[in-house]
Amino acid sequence: MSEAVEYAYTQNRELSWLSFDQRVLEEACDRTVPTLERLKFLSIFSSNLDEFFMVRVGSLYDVSLISPEERDNKSGMTAQQQLRQIYQTIPGLIELKKQIYASVMSDLNRVGISDLQYSQLRPEEAEYVSQFYKTGISPVLSPLIIGSHHPAPHLANKRLYIAALLRDKKGRNAIGLIPTPDSVAAYVKLPGSDLRFIRTETLIQHFSGTLFGAYEVAESCVISVTRNADLSFDGEKFEDSDIDFRSQVSKLLKKRDHLSPVRLEISRPICADFLERLTALVKVGRHQIYFDSCPLNMKYVFSLPGEISPQKQQTLLYPPYTPRWPEDISREHSVIEQIQSHDLLLFYPFDSVDPFLKLLSEAAERPDVISIKITIYRLASSSKIARMLCRAAENGKEVIVLMELRARFDEANNITWSKLLEDSGCQVVYGIEDYKCHSKICLITMKNRGRLSYITQIGTGNYNEKTNAQYTDLSIMTADQTIGEDGTVFFQNMLVNNLAGEYRQLLVAPTGIRPAIFRLIDEQIALGTDGYICMKVNSVTERQIIDKLMEASRAGVEIQLIVRGICCILPGVPTYTDNLHVTSIVGRYLEHARIYCFGKGPGAKLYISSADLMTRNQLRRVEIACPVHDPERKEQLMWILNCQLKDNAKASFLMSNGKYSRKIGQLYNTFDCQQHFMDCSIHAETTFVPAKRRLTNSLGGQLRQLVRRLRP
């Protein structure tokens, strides 16, 4: 196959990711979204872009130095060519962000929420702020002048600095820097009923002229440096068996602030001399410098809702939503016994995580439970799940926790929890050498009259109560004996570093998921135009899977991909992907669930999985895909997929040129799938069946009929 053909239906992953972040930015532009929520989307866009520079741009920078001739297998570009495209694309996004930010802040200003410059303060506010600065900020500032007696300091990753062009009495210029102190809040709220505030960096910049002695401040700005934070955790660093793995990760974390700069943000245009000095100080090229009048760190945005009245919250924020207890799960009866009767499915954040917590609580107390084994990737900082595991261990259960310390930017929290779990008697194992363990599986083993039985929970998202309320994810709980036995084999394999284990039901990467996907696609190819594939994932980058999907499209198979973020396969490319369609949904909740569907009707094969269609997930991580056999749960998953394909409020189509086009609903005919999930449970019998009958065995046939009635 010629090179031109090879790239005809694929696109670069980094540019595709930037398209995703643009879709996040577009949510901030949507006036149907409450105004403070729009500001949050701007903050999310900014933090996404920060991580993109730290991780993806950082990685490309490393590759450009180590292997400059290596080419991306979706676009044929070298790392340097990809960096050039990225640096050319970013300014347009920054310009769009500035326009949207100005519009959002104008709307907020009209309802009494104002981010102010010092010159905009009322006299009494200026007096209040000046006093606050003198007593609360000035004493903890550490201004410095860069010169022959003051060498250039290290500028920490993403820290805000006030930079000043200084001039002495002889007309000589120098650079002054003032780091914003960590001990001071991000903004000062002004007295009064409205939310009028001034950001700390704005306040320090105003008073910067008083901080450099005999020097005059000729010009000042706020700056932020972004550094390569893509630390390598390859096995070579841990070959010495006498060195503790946990301590090595802790040491690597400390290096994150000292890696190469990949971006310099400046809050306003500055003169040529000032710019030249800052460029030399940070050691970046001009193409790595961005002028951004928006706040350079917008994390403070998420604290603003707590500063306003409940009345304003009603109009400026999404209506509060409390995840519901699933209607087909009894609160009064044992969750374990209900799972033994039939599989249970939770759909976060629309369903509460409480049934799973109740399952763990029961397992910690029941005398017939002999062990709990679980994989942990990211835990909440205050984790009920971890505390229940501790309780189970303290009650004498065998608790094995396969803890992944290398969850990027969550390593420190995982280290803290690993110590607490060990102190409670849990056996904590730190993953597989060279492979991140990204699987989401919890195996509860019971023993009755000498016979072992299992409850297996497998999910698409982390065991994290915070993200369970923010991300759409799926969690299935089953008493299927074969799946439980597979779960036992999985943990045995992980404890002895065996990545090539054999399983009867579960698909386990790095050796088992991709071959199974090929086999399942081949089954649909054999059906030709009667074939059907629908896959909901976060990203599609794995080249061989992309080529296999292209092959299926050529065979006439209808392919629907629901891809939140990166998608390197292009739909609608003549003779290649004519029958392939890609939908992306960006809304109130982060789409995170993974569903693989092959075929239609009762015979369809469905899986939920922790794995995206990315090379790292398929080949370099330990992942699990679990088959869903229960007809009612299969109907529920199909209903979810169909609702997402019907969305015309938050969905976009990927076009063959790599651009996205928003699906726009007709007046009175807009369908927002996430809102629909909040309004209409997947546990469909609640709409039609009295509560007393929800758990009866006779509901199976009725449930299937009712779910079909609810399907769009």
* Residues annotated catalytic, as ranges: 438
Using alpha carbons, select from 343, 346, 345 the residue that is nearest to residue 630: 343
Strand-pair partners of 351 = 324
Written as one string, the DSSP assignment of 329-370 is S-SSS-HHHHHHHS-EEEEETTB-SHHHHHHHHHHHH-TTEE
Rounded alpha-carbon distances, angstroms, from residue 98 to 29, 52, 294, 341 = 11, 19, 6, 56
Are 577 and 550 contacting, i.e. CB atoms less than 8 angstroms apart?
Answer: yes
Strand-pair partners of 163 = 177, 221
**How far, in Å, CA of 392 to CA of 365, rounded?**
7
Burial class of residue 527, CB neighbours in 10 A (0-12, 13-18, 19+): middle
Using alpha carbons, select from 567, 505, 506, 503 the residue that is nearest to residue 535: 567
**How far, in Å, CA of 586 to CA of 25, rounded?**
10
Strand-pair partners of 561 = 535, 582
Rounded alpha-carbon distances, angstroms, from residue 302 to 23, 114, 380, 466 = 20, 15, 18, 15
The number of beta carbons lying within 10 Å of the beta carbon of residue 257 is: 15
Pure H helices in 256-353: 272-282, 310-316, 335-341
Burial class of residue 30, CB neighbours in 10 A (0-12, 13-18, 19+): middle
Written as one string, the DSSP assignment of 598-649 is ESSGGG-EEEEES--BSHHHHHSEEEEEEEE--HHHHHHHHHHHHHHHH--S
φ/ψ of residue 65, rounded to 5: -90, -40
**How far, in Å, CA of 709 to CA of 711, rounded?**
6
Angle (CA) 89-90-96 rounded to 5° is 105
